[in-house]
Amino acid sequence: MKRKAAVKLDDLITVIEIQMDDTLTYINTQTGEVITLSRDEMSAAEEEEPLENYPDWQRENIEQAIKVIEDEYEVYLEFTLRNEFHEYEIVEEFIKTLAIAEVREKWFGAIQGRGAFRRFKEVIIEHDVDKQWYEFKEKKVKELVVEWCKEKELVIIE
């Protein structure tokens, strides 16, 4: 199906930044709406659970899940990039941009094993490059989302 509506770049970036494990995200290609549903809501829709068993706010999500499941016109596109995004790889890329090889080696050591992200955050603050890191990460995430949208023939609004 031809994609008709544009999707907001910020909406997709937010989905990646929040990234909850038990959720699935879809894009309504007719409206540009980004929809995040829990696996429980998808299961309830698949198993045709009675809606009255759920609170009002969740009923709306289950009704949306039913639309996604019954989507015979391919209106809904699963936003798979959020599942393929790995912040660790961006951390490694950022470290490679550091000028001094000795510092790079120390930082690569800091991001190994348990607590890697905590140590990384401590190191970027200690070396006063936290602003640089967040700008780098934002740019990389934006590039990934834009590329994914191009592959899926989605128009994006910045």
Render pLDDT for 34-82 as a digit per residue (tens, 0 to 9): 999 999 999 999 999 899 999 998 999 999 999 999 999 999 999 988 7
- Asked if 151 and 143 count as a contact pair (C-beta separation under 8 A), the reply is no
**How much is the pLDDT for 2?**
54
- Give CA–CA dist 86/98, Å, rounded: 20
**How much is the pLDDT for 47?**
93
**How much is the pLDDT for 152?**
92
Q: Is the pLDDT of residue 25 over 60?
A: yes
**How much is the pLDDT for 103?**
74
For 29, which DSSP code?
A: T
**How much is the pLDDT for 80?**
85
Residue for token pair 């709406």: 33
Mean pLDDT for 3-24 is 88
Strand pairing report for 23-28 and 76-78:
antiparallel
Strand ordering across the sheet containing 76-78: 34-38, 23-28, 76-78
* 102-147 pLDDT, tens digit each: 677 888 888 888 888 898 888 889 888 899 999 999 999 999 999 9
**How much is the pLDDT for 76?**
96
**How much is the pLDDT for 55?**
92
Mean pLDDT for 82-91 is 83
